[in-house]
Structure 1
Amino acid sequence: MDWLLPWAQRLEASAFGELMRTSTLLYPAANLLHLAGLVMLLGTMVLLDLRLLGLAREIPVDAASRRLTPIGIAGLALLLITGFGLFAADAGPLLGNALLQLKLLLVALGIGNALLFRALWAARLADWDRRPPLLGRLQVASSILIWCGVMSAGRLLAYV
């Protein structure tokens, strides 16, 4: 990540980084919105993933996906936007933090896993009501683990 350090230092020294550090409202608001985005993403994703694993079979998988996915995507967008703001306040030191690096790696894996899931299974979600495929269930279980890892690494950043 050393190649990103000059960019991170410029971001931290920018007017935006300064504003995020010094504003009595902006940083706390971004923090609260970041938490709201986390709830939106993880809440809907875990509900959908549990449905895909076989819980609440009375709800059709494609209906659950249609209703929950847009909320999860909005949560992810909120997380990315507010996360950038929170990062800007202390970008230089955070860039070298192993927990942040782990979190960013897990975010990339989580997004990649979700995109791969959509590519492989979106057209066949109705089939999951009868018999969820083993590979798909493994992918769903890994999704839960990945996003819980993102959440854990993010929360621990405040203490390291």
Structure 2
Amino acid sequence: MEPLLTAAAAWLDTVGIGPWSRGSALVYPVANTLHLLGLVMLVGGIGIVDLRVIGLWRRLPIAELSRALTPVAIAGLVLMVASGTILFAADGAALARSAIFERKLIIVAAALANAAAFRWAWSARIAGWTDGAPRPAQAMAAASLLLWLAAGASGRWIAYG
């Protein structure tokens, strides 16, 4: 993965995003704050839905909760991708060699694959889950929660690795 990340870092420098993110006293801290906001929106939105699928708050209809909070989670993911690109551009050469950063990207890919698989397998059936979700759906929701929390923790650990 390192050659791909190195090429991405070089391209971000070529188009000016790298120098812009390194050359301003405000760009990096603002991008970092937006990245954290995106994480809160993502984990807050999908995490509540995941916890409901697992079995908490049984009085709340899963379908309605998902319909209300999934757009918040998606907006958080979009915000994280945009701000993460700026954060990566600031120090792409070093991050391309970081095992922790690579692990974070793998965890994010696994979390996205899990989300896509959940939507594919269960989205048409959610409305009928009045007595609770099936065990496989609960397992996927638990995996979602753990993967997104692991991705967030990995992001925090990059500075120490």
Q: TM-score, normalised by structure 1?
A: 0.95
**Residues paired across the two proteins, number:** 160
1:9 offset after TM fit, Å?
3.0
Counterpart amino acid of residue 108 in structure 2: V
Distance 2:66 2:159 in 1: 33
Contact preservation (8 Å) 1:51, 1:57: yes
Distance 1:155 1:2 in 2: 20
Distance 1:2 1:155 in 2: 20
| Matching residue of 2:16 | 15
| Matching residue of 1:107 | 108
Counterpart amino acid of residue 3 in structure 2: W
Distance 1:2 1:60 in 2: 44
1:14 offset after TM fit, Å?
4.7
Identity %: 43
Counterpart amino acid of residue 132 in structure 2: R
The answer to whether structure 1 residue 92 and structure 2 residue 103 are counterparts is: no
1:127 offset after TM fit, Å?
2.5
Distance 2:132 2:28 in 1: 46
Counterpart amino acid of residue 16 in structure 1: I
Alignment of 1:34-73 (within 5 A): 34-73=35-74
Contact preservation (8 Å) 1:12, 1:92: no
Counterpart amino acid of residue 65 in structure 2: A
Contact preservation (8 Å) 1:52, 1:128: no
| Matching residue of 2:133 | 132
Bigger mean CA offset, 21-30 vs 9-18? 9-18
Q: TM-score, normalised by structure 2?
A: 0.94
Distance 2:14 2:160 in 1: 23
RMSD of aligned residue pairs (Cα, Å): 1.3
Residues 65 and 120 of structure 1: CA distance in aligned 2, closer, same or farther (over 3 Å): same
Q: Which runs of 5+ in 1 are unaligned?
A: none
1:44 offset after TM fit, Å?
1.1
Contact preservation (8 Å) 1:12, 1:90: no
